Amino acid sequence: MPENHSLCCVPQETAMASQALGAILAGLASLIIAANVLVAIILLCHIQKSGSKGLCFVLNLALADAMVGFTVMGLAMDELSQPFYPSQNFCILRMAFVTSSSAASILSLILVACDRHLAIRKPFHYFQLVTGLRIGVCLVGLWLVAAVVGFLPVLIPRFQKVSNHWKCSFFNVFQPSYLLTMFCLGFFPALFLFLYLYCDMLKIASVHVQHIQEVEQAGLGGSCPPPRATSDMKAMRTVAMLIGCFTLSWLPFFIASIVQMVCPECFPYKVIENFLWLLGVGNSLLNPLLYSYWQKDVQLQLSQLAAGVKRRVLLHLGNGRCFPGRDTKALPTVSCLELQD
């Protein structure tokens, strides 16, 4: 009798755990989509106003992170639809889209860091080097590389893993050789490139600071720091935050995955998929929050957009009744271009 009770409770506990994980995934995916779409709209408005081509890389980062949210929402629907028995091909395509969007997000972070590094390394030639054509080529190449990385198991069947498990996950549909290849050729080179770019920017900034101190000691400088030094420090701060959040978000997942490949009994894959992978996906939520917090242009554009939405809501709710003695027709409608002013 106790054995039957235990057997009956296992599916129910599994279903409850699946529902809880699906709810967490759905909430996280909704926040990722909302935050990145909002930042993408703000950046698009700011690019139209200022013509800053470098922000196109940040805009692409927001779009890639939003796509991560959409793919994670698909996994959440699978969890909430249990019992759900997807086919092997369905799971492979599902996880290929998840991997491609995550790869696009990581590659976008690299492009943002390279752009800030180029702005510091070649400030007088930056606008000559960063042209619309080159930006377009970089973005097209980024998405092609991300698609190849994500759909590599589809192109090379030996990277696929035949499994009768009911859940779509990395360890159920991909061979360890593919995961190890992705880690060694994707994550770790990206991390080392991040560290190199930041160390080089730190070296350049230290030279600028030393030069500024020499000028101030000679009595030739003013009380305010030069714009170049302020811009360098802002770029370094942004890249440092991106590197830190990227490392803290994805490093535990990759290290635990490698350990699990070498020693399957040492680290349960369910812990990696249910907890550490969520930490990595959370990086797509941190990216727009970081730019909203550190970039004054994004903050200003966000406040202007919020003010415009507030005026429209008050105008719609008032409808001539909430503003006695005031002509509601005098309240202007605010468009995206008008909010830039």
12-291 CATH fold: Rhopdopsin 7-helix transmembrane proteins (1.20.1070)
The 3 state secondary structure assigned to 152-209 is: HHHHCHHHECCCCCCCCCHHHHECHHHHHHHHHHHHHHHHHHHHHHHHHHHHHHHHHH
Whole-number pLDDT of residue 11: 57
pLDDT at 97: 92
pLDDT score for 138: 93
pLDDT at 148: 92
SS3 sequence of the chain: CHHHHHHHHHHHHHHHHHHHHHHHHHHHHHHHHHHHHHHHHHHHHHHHHHCCCCHHHHHHHHHHHHHHHHHHHHHHHHHHCCCCCCCHHHHHHHHHHHHHHHHHHHHHHHHHHHHHHHHHHCCCCHHHHCCHHHHHHHHHHHHHHHHHHHCHHHHCHHHECCCCCCCCCHHHHECHHHHHHHHHHHHHHHHHHHHHHHHHHHHHHHHHHHHHHHHHHCCCCCCCCCHHHHHHHHHHHHHHHHHHHHHHHHHHHHHHHHHHHHCCCCCCHHHHHHHHHHHHHCHHHHHHHHHHHHCHHHHHHHHHHHHHHHHHHHHHHHCCCCCCCCCHHHCCCCCHHHHHC
Cis peptide before 83, with omega less than 30 degrees from 0?
yes
- Per-10-residue mean pLDDT of the chain, 341 residues long, equals 41 70 88 91 83 83 93 87 78 90 90 85 82 90 93 87 73 80 79 83 74 64 54 67 82 82 75 81 85 68 73 72 46 42 41
